[in-house]
Amino acid sequence: MSHLQADKAKLLKLIKRRAFKLGDFTLASGAKSTYYIDGRLLTLSSDGVHTLARVILGMMEGEHIDAVGGMAIGADPIVGAVLALADATGGQELKGFICRKERKNHGTGRLVEGNLAPGDRALLVEDVVTTGGSTLRAIDAIEELGAVVVRIIAMVDRLSGAAEAFAGRNYRFTPVFTVRDLGVQVP
């Protein structure tokens, strides 16, 4: 078993144990669901975020990526872990950025905070994607700055339209897992 496969196996166990919940939930989109994946329970734990960062770095191996970022607040710990681990494990230099949901009324008033620059090749990371709407808004802000989104990696895809939305705009999307990997039956 490769390091990436071993890390993915460990990550799946952690998601099932810590972040996957059954019950009645209302999602950010307003849709109702019988399950919820609370990615922050995983990404705000040392072993969870470390394992996820190892998986993401393994998945992007060999790609030319300048910057890693995503939507606040879900991507914040993931971005930090990927940046720290990239440097610690091989001196890979990456820039980080975070996209706000809305522009601030003070300071610089930016939608994208951090080190993203025109021409940068960006990887977007997410904990859980449903329809992909917030990620597409982040992409719009990133592209407005002149950066290029080369890939999107999500820890879990709920299989509720995100992959199709990204494909419809020609973005490369790779989920680490889908809800099927968690045992959820989807049509």
Q: Quick one: pLDDT band at residue 83, thresholds 50, 70, 90? A: very high
Model pLDDT for residues 36-76, shown as the tens digit of each residue = 999 999 999 999 999 999 999 999 999 999 999 999 999 99
Residue 109's pLDDT is what?
63
Average pLDDT over the chain, rounded to an integer: 92
Give the whole-angstrom CA distance, residue 20 versus residue 37: 5
Is pLDDT of 1 > 80?
no
Q: Beta-carbon neighbour count of residue 26 at 10 Å?
A: 10
pLDDT greater than 80 at residue 32: yes
* Spatial separation of the C-alpha atoms in residues 43 and 63, rounded to whole Å: 24
Average pLDDT over every residue of 75-92: 92
Domains of the chain in start order, with CATH, are: 3-182 (3.40.50.2020)
pLDDT at 163: 97
pTM for the whole structure: 0.93
Rounded distance, CA 97 to CA 83, Å? 10
pLDDT tens for residues 99-130?
Answer: 998 766 665 667 899 989 999 999 999 999 99
Report the half-sphere exposure of 128 (CA within 13 A, side-chain side).
Answer: 20
Specify the pLDDT at position 10: 97
Residue 105's SS3 state is coil
pLDDT band at 169 (very low <50, low <70, confident <90, very high): very high
- Predicted confidence at residue 31, as pLDDT, reads 80
Lowest mean pLDDT among 56-65, 86-95, 99-108, 167-176: 99-108
The share of the chain scoring above pLDDT 90, in percent, equals 80
